[in-house]
Chains A and B, each alone.
Chain A
Amino acid sequence: MTITRRNFLKGVAGGGLLLATGVPPARARVSTELPPQAVGLLYDATLCIGCKSCMVNCKVHNSVPGGALYKKGMKSPPYESKGLQGSDGIWDAPRELSGKTLNIIKAYRNGTAEKKDTAINGYAFFKQQCLHCISPACVSVCPAGAFRKDPENGSVYYLADRCIGCRYCQLACPFGVPRYEWDSAWPEVRKCQLCRHRYAEGKYSACAEFCPTGATIFGKVTDLREEAKRRLMLKPGTLYDFPVQTVTSRERTRREIAAYVDGVYGLNEVGGTQNLMLSGVSFELLGFSRNIPRFDLPSLTWAYIAKILWILGGVFVGGTAIHAVTHRKEKGA
């Protein structure tokens, strides 16, 4: 084979140049700061009565244009009535989060299940949905940028037009939130988008608006954190005026403070989430894994990605040098 050194170097330089100029201004690494106007939900399991009003209204208010469940030509919300007899398709009985269900209330039961919010011989409700991480793994892993985090209010949303359906988001989400439309030939990923389509109309999350007890409330994350910490500080049994619907609402309901365990879920988990939770039964027992790191997950991959250009450059320089040395004798062939 005859390769002159000059031609060879030209080829290498050309390749390098192509790489350097071909890089469009890609978005830099995922932020770890709470966005300035970050909003979220506080779910207090000790106030939840398991009425599932949030589930019903989540489905209804997200099945309209702009909503997280909406599809063109949709006539009614995507009810899940599989296995229900005589439901005529109007009953909704999801058992898990799914491509049709963005939030779900589940029950914990133990032994005689007599006392609410007690681990032994008690019961409790809990709510599963996207927690709107401050540094979302789903956003960082999506190869097509289909998951985004709003830089203002911090809601994590999804752009189906970009998605390729690889399900990396499902693998990466530490809470197992995103769900896939498995039965579709052109599937989308579904998850709670914090009802961001309702903000323009001056509304807020449907699940909070329709929660009768104040178990789910909407508000600025900074306010929600304060509210949650305040509840934790009070002695169990103290009477407290719990806000209903939103954290700053004037409507209040007076009840006793319950015995909380485990602190505020979402304060430190994966570097913090915009949705927060309080509970009388440990989160571990409710199925929220203890195995959740306390730092932002995207930093794990960034440590690797940041090295890539160095490796590329190193191999080019090293390879060229070695080639020059090992092919000394064939110079100018």
Chain B
Amino acid sequence: MRDMTQYIGPRLGGVANKLLDDSVSARLGIRMATPFTLVLCALIGLAAVVAVYRLLFGIGAASNLNDFWPWGLWIGFDVLGGVAMAAGAFLIAGAVHILNWKKYRCIVRASILNAFFGYLLAAISITLDVGRSFVIWHPLVMWQINSVMFIVALHLVLYLSTLATESSPMVFEKLGWQRTLDFVNRFMVGAVIFGVALSLLHQSSLGANYLIVPGKLSPLWYNKLLPYNFLVSAIMLGLAIVSFETLLTGKVFRHRVPREVVEGLARGMMFVGAFYLVMKVWHLVTGPGIGAALDGSFLGNLYLIEMTVGVIMPLAMLSFRSVRTNLERIFAVDILVILGVLLNRMNVGIFGVSEYATRAGGDYFPSLMEIVLTVGMIAFAILGFKVCAKYLPLFPEEGHH
């Protein structure tokens, strides 16, 4: 490792040296100089070019969005999906800090960091999605309490700060700034409770965004409980993501997976998933009717895929003890849930308005630039997570606390 004090002076250099010291993760064996990292960097670079192009020439030039289809991939995937994927953090943080379930302490940092990147993805994408990016802060000072979007904006900023606060002990610990560390830790439980409240609201308010479009969003998804559909499915997804990530880091880094943790997450997924299924079936039966899902239409099929992949198959699998106790099978369930819930967000955010939009004369499929930006944002999240795993005490060793 280079000695940074040679380059930027003793003070800054000392801090940099401490930050760049990767001995904390030595036992994980994370290698940065890999082809995979290069691919990620290339994707991020491409996305950056698209972002600049979009800022210079406008949304019309960069995307296929139009007056009939004002929201597309960036909202449907990056914002709705990115935020939903971040739901694991408040669950695990709440379980550890409020419920005092010590078992999950070993994954609390990773899931918070993961959520931080999920929210960052949402925040950067929405900044580029709004046409007047440089005044995106307006809602924060121009309160308009009738607007769910205002609520969403407020939550986004508050929760990103909360997540940063919740993650900061890792950095202070690394730097050895004991006083600051104590100071932050003093507020930790308050921050966690605040984070839980914000998350419950934020996850549901993304669904509440669509309450005002009963005539546009297909009845397959529209219903008065949409905010709570979003909340419950986000919880299911959040658990799946945390479990997925725990297993994945166990595979690619040299990191022992605490077995009972993953099994606990799987049980959680099963309970929440069952509740979600009841909610969805109730809505289907009392709302558009089962026929609407089975009529072979484009939207009906999307609905069926979403439910089969994301809810029915995972629940069927989890109902077997042999699945719930087998890490490989749990991994497969995680992937199904992730795909299914992400499809749900895109169904609500993109496809669900298609019948209305087509009637009005609109058509939409994401442009290449929209896709490049989204892919680049995902690459950014993966790389960011990897860098943090290498340089920060992300997985405290057993008995560390």
Residues on A facing B (Cβ under 8 Å): 1-3, 7-8, 11-12, 14-15, 23-24, 26-30, 96-98, 137, 139-145, 162-168, 170-172, 174, 176, 179-187, 287, 289, 291-293, 297-298, 300-305, 308, 311-312, 315-316, 319-320, 322-323, 326-327
Contact = CB atoms under 8 A, between A and B. Distances in A.
Given A145-B144, A163-B132, A320 B71 contact: no
A227 B132 CA distance: 43
Given A140-B147, A172-B212, A186 B401 contact: no
B172 interface: no
A26 B57 CA distance: 35
B248 interface: no
A15 B186 CA distance: 13
Interface residues on B, range: 35 or more
Contacts of B132: 163-165, 186-187
Contact of B149 (A23, A27, A141, A181): A141
Contacts of A179: 67
B188 A3 contact: yes
Interface stretch (B96-104, B333-341, B381-389): B96-104
Interface in B356-397: 356, 359-361
Nearest to A5: B189
A186 B57 CA distance: 9
A162 B61 contact: no
B233 interface: no
A323 B189 contact: yes
Nearest to A290: B215
Contacts of B224: 300, 303
Contact of B146 (A140, A180, A323): A140
A97 to B, nearest CB: 7
Nearest to B182: A2
Contacts of B98: 319, 322-323, 326
Interface string B172-216: 000000000010011111111110110011001100110111111
Nearest to A163: B132
A166 B130 contact: yes
Contacts of A320: 193
Contacts of B146: 27, 29-30, 139-141, 298, 301-302, 305
Contact of A312 (B186, B201, B216): B201
Contacts of B205: 304
Interface stretch (B134-142, B235-243, B298-306): B134-142
Contact of B214 (A186, A300, A312): A300
B287 interface: no
Contacts of A141: 146-149, 212
Nearest to A7: B186
Given A26-B145, A304-B227, A8 B67 contact: no
